[in-house]
A and B are shown apart, each in its own frame.
Chain A
Amino acid sequence: MRKSREFDNVLDECLERLLAKGETVEQCLRSFPEHADELEPLLGTALDAKKASAIQPRPEFRDRARYQFYSALQERERKRSRPFFSWGWQPRWVAAVAIVLVLLLAGSGTVAAASGSMPDEPLYPVKLATEQVQLVLTPSALGKAELYARLADKRVLEIASMAGKNKPERIERAARRLNTHLTKIAALASTQGVTAGVAMAPAVEEALVVEEAPVVREAPLLPERAGGGKEARIKVDRRARLRATVVRQANNNTARLSALLEIVPESAKPALLRAIAVSEAGYEKALESLD
């Protein structure tokens, strides 16, 4: 037992020297001549295993993952510092007052004027607020998913517009919003919601529960099986139509953005490429969830 423990230590020390300090097998064997015969084959196997496990992620995945992580990082910061149009972190009365204001403005035609505004125009915040109101006033998960699909279309138009005007920062922001919309569609359409990988350490689980507190609450689409046959059929039809819409958007929007690469200024291309990656990955996820 003691001998075995001693060998475990010797093997580990050699591995540490080989893997972390770059020493050779021979150097290690010289340090432990009494164990050399037993050590040599095991160190060879360990080195083979180490070499074989050096699996590299695909560059395109690495880029996409980095972009989405950095977007989430910035989104977290934005949520924290957002002054007015913040629905997740403001008291509920602020959201209510904003809704009333938007409804009042709707009467004056401001909302109509804002609906076609672009991210670099003064009425754009009104457009975003109107969209939030629409989401709040849409009760069903299916309805929300349909609305998010329409909003995704708008974001793509905005990305195209900002690319034409060579405004990379605006492209990035619109792409982040596009990513959020498509993620929401996927979450709403998924039977499991957004709880993939739930078996976490207790501390992690706790933190996730505390962090997740959106005002606009969504329920998964699929569990809506209850109800009469006719109602169920209507929902199935609507879901199929939503899927068809998302398929069409996935093809058109990605192609539309890709075509712009030929004509936009060089300085707008990196942001546009990232937006294309977001569009491709986001639509793919949404469609997977709608399958």
Chain B
Amino acid sequence: MQDEESLVRRAKQRDQKAFAQLYEEHFNKIYRYVALRIGDKTEAEDMTQQVFLNALKSISSFKWKGVPFAAWLFRIAHNQVVDYLRKKSKQATAPLDESLVSSDSNPQLMAEHSLDVEQLLLATRRLTEAQRQVISLRFAGELSINQVAKIMGKSQGAVKALQHSAIVALRKTLLAGNNEEVQRI
């Protein structure tokens, strides 16, 4: 944490290497979070890029005060996602693009993985907005409960409860999906 604090301080003082390091550390996580939230490859790419450009413009406004940099960055991403979803709310949501799956070279693993991404995306659509956010931040963004709580403006207890209910709901949806699959076969 101390390291990140000094890195952020240097970035605020326009140290290019420090900001570049923060970018490299958080890029994939932000992309995964955005991609899982919106399920559209092209939009996720544009939005990820915009998150970092906005962060670059706004870094001077970031105040440490115990709030992790990741929480601040994800807050920017979250606001962009919310803005995007609001604009798209009247349109039907499309399934995840095939190219969103891992670039693993093992074809069998890729096929399994692809199925999981699709299933996960569909299953998360059945969650409440708060549950979906917790799952995206925890699993795609790899954030701790404390960081998720800071981003969502909730207590850690509330986030843990949401995490629990979200996993239960995901399980139910995934099991129901598997049963339908078995019945079709």
**A contacts, CB < 8 Å to B:** 4-5, 7-9, 11-12, 15-16, 19-20, 41-42, 45-46, 48-59, 61-62, 65-66, 68-70, 72-74, 76-77, 80, 196-201, 203-204, 206-208, 210-212
Contacts and interface: CB of A to CB of B under 8 A. Distances in A.
B36 interface: yes
Contact of A69 (B36, B52, B86): B52
A260 B145 CA distance: 51
A55 B117 contact: yes
Given A4-B161, A48-B116, A76-B14, A57 B53 contact: no
Given A77-B16, A197-B84, 15 more contacts: A8-B157, A11-B167, A49-B139, A49-B170, A51-B113, A52-B116, A65-B48, A72-B56, A196-B50, A196-B80, A197-B79, A199-B80, A199-B83, A200-B54, A200-B58
B79 A46 contact: no
Contacts of B170: 45, 49
Interface string B101-120: 11100000000010011011
A56 B97 CA distance: 12
The 8 closest A-B pairs by CB, nearest first: A52-B116, A207-B61, A197-B80, A199-B83, A207-B58, A8-B160, A52-B120, A53-B140
Tell me which of A8, A58, A74, A208 has the highest count of chain B C-beta atoms within 10 A of its own C-beta.
A8
Contacts of A54: 32, 102
B163 interface: yes
A14 to B, nearest CB: 11
B54 A50 contact: no
B122 to A, nearest CB: 11
A200 B167 contact: no
A48 B115 CA distance: 11
Given A65-B27, A196-B50, A200-B54, A55 B83 contact: no
B58 A55 contact: no
Contacts of A5: 157, 160-161
B76 interface: yes
Contact of B103 (A4, A59, A76, A77): A59
Contacts of B100: 55
Contacts of A201: 72, 75-76, 79
B142 to A, nearest CB: 7
Contacts of A73: 16, 19-20, 56
A36 to B, nearest CB: 16
A208 B83 contact: no
A56 B144 CA distance: 21
A57 B161 contact: no
A114 B94 CA distance: 52
Contacts of A70: 20
A61 B99 CA distance: 12
19 contacts: A8-B163, A11-B164, A42-B164, A45-B167, A45-B170, A48-B120, A51-B116, A52-B117, A52-B119, A53-B139, A55-B31, A62-B27, A77-B14, A197-B83, A203-B61, A203-B62, A204-B75, A206-B61, A211-B60
Contacts of A66: 23, 27
B47 A65 contact: no
Interface in B65-105: 72, 75-76, 79-80, 82-84, 86, 99-103
A49 B135 contact: yes
Contact of A68 (B49, B62, B103, B164): B49
B49 A69 contact: yes
B168 A42 contact: yes
Contact of B139 (A50, A72, A80): A50
Contacts of B60: 207, 210-211
B184 interface: no
Contacts of A15: 138, 163
A56 B161 contact: no
B57 A208 contact: yes
B1 to A, nearest CB: 14
Contacts of A61: 45
Contacts of B167: 11, 42, 45-46, 49
Given A199-B79, A204-B76, A207-B58, A8 B52 contact: no
B28 interface: yes
Given A69-B56, A80-B14, A8 B164 contact: yes
Contacts of B58: 200, 203-204, 207-208, 211
